[in-house]
Amino acid sequence: MEQKFYTLLVYSENVAGVLTQVTAVFTRLQVNIESLNVSASSIEGIHKYTITCWSDANQIGRITKQLEKKIDVIKANYYIDEELFIHEVALYKISTPVLLDNPEVSRTIRKHDARMMEVNPTYSTVLLAGLTEDIADLYHILDGFKCLLQFTRSGQIAVTRSFDEPVSEFLKAQENS
Amino acid sequence: MDNEKDNKTQQTTIEPMDKQTPWAGVHIGEECSGAEILMRALYQEGTKTIFGYPGGNIMPVYDALYTYTRKPTPWFDHVLVRHEQGAAHAAEGYARVTGEVGVVIVTSGPGVTNTMTGVADAMMDSIPIVIIAGQVGVGALGSDAFQEVDLVNMAQPIAKWSYQIRRPEDVAWAVSHAFYIARSGRPGPVVLDFPKNAQIHKAKWLPGKADKVKSYIPYPKIDSKAIQEAAELINNAKKPFALVGHGVEIGDAQEELKQLLEKADIPAGLTMLGLSVLSTDYPLNKGMLGMHGRYGTNLKQQECDVLIAIGMRFSDRVTGCLDRYAKQAKIIHMDIDPSEIDKIVKTDVAVIGDCKESLSMLTKLLNKAEHKDWIASFEPLYEVEKREVIEPAIHPESGPLLMGEVVNAVAEAAPSDTVMVNDVGLNQMFSSRYFKFGHKRSVVSSGGLGTMGFGLPAAIGATFGTDRKVCLFTGDGGFQMCIEELGTIMEQQAPVKIILLNNNYLGNVRQWQDLMYDYHHSFTHMLNPSYDSIAKGYRIAYDIVLNRKELAEKVARMIATDGPYILECAVKEEENVEPMVTPGSSVDEMKLHLNI
């Protein structure tokens, strides 16, 4: 079956140990998590997990159902990229002497709409918020300039194109049941 | 993250109890220890029997139990097992025959790790049990303190829910939620980790009563459109076939199932755990499904045009080779657990919800039908199996004693409402094939996990849940895995009739070694102890059957004797269970004879 890149949005109670439960579902089904981000959602007391992975249509359905089966997980849905607004944040720590010696470095940073966060005589920090491909592209170019000292990225974060959190309707229904 | 805050957000309905009536001297709202609150919470949940074993980090709870198990008005029976694994399986046995939650109390560390096999077993077979385990005080958590183990994380993958009660204020809340989660929807095991400080420290006793958890839908709303689609498929079917599982027993929907089967004239096959959903002699009951199930019942799955799976999960032991399983049929899957839909077999119509309700809804939309020819077509296959396999197994004329004939003799001598408990292995297959059921909730077996050692403690637990006769079929391998529970039987005088099918082998593995590993009996032959001496040591009545002449008489004596009994049966050493869907085969390739 065809492998696709999926993003799961998982909502859970704010209790200890949910992260372990969530990741264990992927481990058991032998699916590697490509990125994982956990944060508060717009609903008080509800946490949101943004998880990306390669999977197929059958398997991603099983993962989602197994996640929802966990008592502390409220809702899990999976999406393909077109159904979401997705962004990612990356930080690039680069050598200031190289930055000053090679004007192409700063030109490249500007061209990617990245922001210079900090500059000191030894290193500079660059921030880029964008699509995964843009972040990877800048990484490869800076790496080619031999100026990259450190690099980190946040993993994808996403909101759906629906009006509010995909879990809102479920919570309302549960409150009224 | 903040557990205390979470408790407040999840706290649901609290039904005030009678404020004028003190419970054991404490009014609602007055302070008592976490251990005392636990006693009140367990009582409120209807707990009658606790299976347990004391230890250092659960001593405050056991001190409270000292009071609440005393005459003249004890709240609970406490059954002191001989190993914590036995407590978990006993709770499973109790839960299966009663439908109530089985309760276990053990200490921390090895005490609770010993229960983990039972927890996994209960998860696989959807059995409601609650394990309450001691833990080091919260100040010592994470310090590798004596008998400390990270229980919540350990239990999470194998339990329906696990939770650490860190404060006495949370005890009533946690216990009410634990019982609610364990028994509702698709039941399962819940593990409560109870640090010692929360047992000792005091808090106001405020009874909790959970009837809702916002992240959890135990009984999904049944989609009437799905019911209509299912009804349409069944009404147009020429060869409908129902596969019935343990879920019907859990949902107490035996009558609703019969109404459906009878109205639409549908034959039914039963999973091993669902064997007592329908009486053995019920005309539409076509017997057990699966690897060692009924021959025709397996073959007909490949011939039916509509397959209705009810409260079953398409275990690999039932489906055989999935690539060729029931491809000709439209599949209707009725289950309370949405995660079971399309997990193994792709479904045409999924009816998600409580089967007691969905079966009634479906039956209303069904046309009265007759499928005489289709149902009659099971008969020749049964006749072949009867001649080739069943009769030689249960009525052999010569040779050594066989497992099947022992099971048959017990089934004929025991009352029709007897609870049949088995262990795992050949004893499980023969007893599942040849025991006769006439009452609901009469099968106690380790299905999904296949836990050797399950039988003896589960049978003990069953005797605390019912006055019906409890017969255990076990092999010499499984019997020795939890043989220490004979001490519990002795102390409690638990009236388990133990039929020990002794073949001096780990028989099922030996059969597979013959089948697939060139008869290499790699560590499957066993040197057995004198079970007579062991029975004497535990002061349990004992007899041995060495040949078929004495079988009926000795079985009758066992059944007629009050109290526990061990009947050792010296059965054929290298007997094989037939028929068999060999691994990798399709169900219609079931072999009547293995020729090994």
Average pLDDT (A122-146) is 96
Instruction: Indicate the DSSP class of residue B143.
Output: T
Chain A residue with minimum CA distance to B155? A21
Q: List B residues 4-33 in contact with A (Cβ-Cβ < 8 A).
A: 5-6, 9-10
Predicted confidence at residue B586, as pLDDT, reads 97
Q: How confident is the model at residue B29 (pLDDT cuts 50, 70, 90)?
A: confident
Domain boundaries defined on chain B: 3-204, 224-378, 401-572
Inter-chain CB proximity B215 and A73 less than 8 Å: yes
Q: List B residues 321-360 in contact with A (Cβ-Cβ < 8 A).
A: 337-339, 341-343
Any CB–CB contact under 8 A between B212 and chain A? yes
Predicted confidence at residue B74, as pLDDT, reads 86
Residue B339: list chain A partners with CB under 8 A. Answer: 62, 65-66, 68-69
Measured between alpha carbons, how far is B596 from B582 in angstroms, rounded to an integer? 12
Predicted confidence at residue B21, as pLDDT, reads 56
Predicted confidence at residue B24, as pLDDT, reads 67
CA distance B222 to chain A (A): 15
Of A14, A18, A61, which is closest to B2 when you measure between CB atoms?
A: A14
pLDDT tens, B172-206?
A: 999 999 999 999 999 999 999 999 999 999 999 99
Any CB–CB contact under 8 A between A15 and chain B? yes
pLDDT tens, B462-485?
A: 999 999 999 999 999 999 999 999
CA distance B197 to chain A (A): 19
- Three-class secondary structure of residue B19 per DSSP: coil
Inter-chain CB proximity B214 and A174 less than 8 Å: yes
Measured between alpha carbons, how far is B96 from B187 in angstroms, rounded to an integer? 11
Average pLDDT (A145-150) is 96
Whether B43 has a pLDDT exceeding 80, the answer reads: yes
Of A28, A58, A72, which is closest to B215 when you measure between CB atoms?
A: A72
pLDDT tens, A154-164?
A: 999 999 988 88
Fold: same for B224-378 and B401-572: yes
Whether B492 has a pLDDT exceeding 90, the answer reads: yes
Inter-chain CB proximity B160 and A71 less than 8 Å: yes
Instruction: Indicate the DSSP class of residue A44.
Output: T
Residue A65: list chain B partners with CB under 8 A. Answer: 338-339, 341, 343
Inter-chain CB proximity B215 and A71 less than 8 Å: yes
Mutation site for A-interface testing, chosen from B160, B215, B337 by largest number of A Cβ within 10 Å:
B215
Average pLDDT (B386-394) is 98
Q: How confident is the model at residue A174 (pLDDT cuts 50, 70, 90)?
A: confident
Q: How confident is the model at residue B9 (pLDDT cuts 50, 70, 90)?
A: very low
Predicted confidence at residue B23, as pLDDT, reads 65
Predicted confidence at residue B18, as pLDDT, reads 53
CA distance A38 to chain B (A): 12
Q: What are A16's two structure tokens? A: 């200890």
- What average pLDDT is seen over chain B? 95
Measured between alpha carbons, how far is B148 from B137 in angstroms, rounded to an integer? 9
- Write the CB contacts of A27 (distance below 8 Å, at least 6 apart in sequence): none
Chain A residue with minimum CA distance to B343? A62
Residue B6: list chain A partners with CB under 8 A. Answer: 13-15, 45
pLDDT tens, A49-61?
A: 999 999 999 999 9
Whether A36 has a pLDDT exceeding 80, the answer reads: yes
Predicted confidence at residue B11, as pLDDT, reads 36
Beta bridge partners of B310: B244, B334
Residue B212: list chain A partners with CB under 8 A. Answer: 174, 177
Chain B residue with minimum CA distance to A71? B216
Measured between alpha carbons, how far is A113 from A135 in angstroms, rounded to an integer? 11
CA distance A151 to chain B (A): 29
Q: How confident is the model at residue B228 (pLDDT cuts 50, 70, 90)?
A: very high
Q: Are A89 and A134 in contact (CB under 8 A)?
A: no
Gyration radius (Cα) of chain B, Å: 25
Inter-chain CB proximity A45 and B5 less than 8 Å: yes
Inter-chain CB proximity A61 and B342 less than 8 Å: yes
Predicted confidence at residue B22, as pLDDT, reads 56
Q: Are B384 and B295 in contact (CB under 8 A)?
A: yes
Predicted confidence at residue B49, as pLDDT, reads 98
ipTM: 0.88
| Sheet with B102-106, side-by-side order of all strands | B77-80, B49-52, B102-106, B129-135, B189-195, B161-164
Beta bridge partners of B541: B565
Average pLDDT (A131-144) is 95
Whether B6 has a pLDDT exceeding 80, the answer reads: no
Domains of chain A: 4-79 (3.30.70.260), 86-153 (3.30.70.1150)
Whether B399 has a pLDDT exceeding 70, the answer reads: yes
Mutation site for B-interface testing, chosen from A15, A23, A29 by largest number of B Cβ within 10 Å:
A15
CATH 3.40.50.970 fits B3-204, yes or no: yes
Inter-chain CB proximity B338 and A68 less than 8 Å: yes
Predicted confidence at residue B520, as pLDDT, reads 97
**Which CATH class, in words, describes the domain spanning B224-378?**
alpha beta
Residue B283: asked if its preceding bond is cis (omega within 30°), the reply is no
Residue A174: list chain B partners with CB under 8 A. Answer: 212, 214, 217
Predicted confidence at residue A16, as pLDDT, reads 84
Predicted confidence at residue B25, as pLDDT, reads 72
Inter-chain CB proximity A13 and B156 less than 8 Å: no
Whether B63 has a pLDDT exceeding 50, the answer reads: yes
Q: Are B344 and B314 in contact (CB under 8 A)?
A: yes
Higher pLDDT, B527 or B29: B527
Q: How many CB pairs under 8 A join A and B?
A: 66
At position B249, the amino acid (one-letter code) is: E
Q: List B residues 530-559 in contact with A (Cβ-Cβ < 8 A).
A: none
- Write the CB contacts of B237 (distance below 8 Å, at least 6 apart in sequence): B304, B305, B306, B330
Whether B1 has a pLDDT exceeding 60, the answer reads: no
Measured between alpha carbons, how far is B499 from B543 in angstroms, rounded to an integer? 10
Inter-chain CB proximity B215 and A65 less than 8 Å: no
**Burial class of residue B241 (count of CB atoms within 10 Å of its CB; 0-12, 13-18, 19+):** buried
Inter-chain CB proximity B338 and A73 less than 8 Å: no
Predicted confidence at residue B8, as pLDDT, reads 36
Predicted confidence at residue A32, as pLDDT, reads 96
Predicted confidence at residue B13, as pLDDT, reads 34
Inter-chain CB proximity B6 and A45 less than 8 Å: yes
CATH fold of the domain at B401-572: Rossmann fold (3.40.50)
Beta bridge partners of A173: none
Whether A48 has a pLDDT exceeding 80, the answer reads: yes
Whether B81 has a pLDDT exceeding 60, the answer reads: yes
Average pLDDT (B86-110) is 98
Average pLDDT (B52-74) is 93
Any CB–CB contact under 8 A between B152 and chain A? yes
Q: Are A165 and A84 in contact (CB under 8 A)?
A: no
- Percentage of chain B modeled with pLDDT above 70: 96
Q: How confident is the model at residue A14 (pLDDT cuts 50, 70, 90)?
A: confident
Inter-chain CB proximity B10 and A174 less than 8 Å: no
Average pLDDT (B97-103) is 98
Average pLDDT (B225-231) is 98
Helices (H), B366-434: 372-376, 378-385, 391-394, 403-413, 426-434
Q: Tokens 């139990």: give the residue.
A: B65
pLDDT tens, B249-287?
A: 999 999 999 999 999 999 999 999 999 999 999 999 999
Element of type H or E holding B404:
helix B403-413
Residue B213: list chain A partners with CB under 8 A. Answer: 71
CA distance A81 to chain B (A): 24
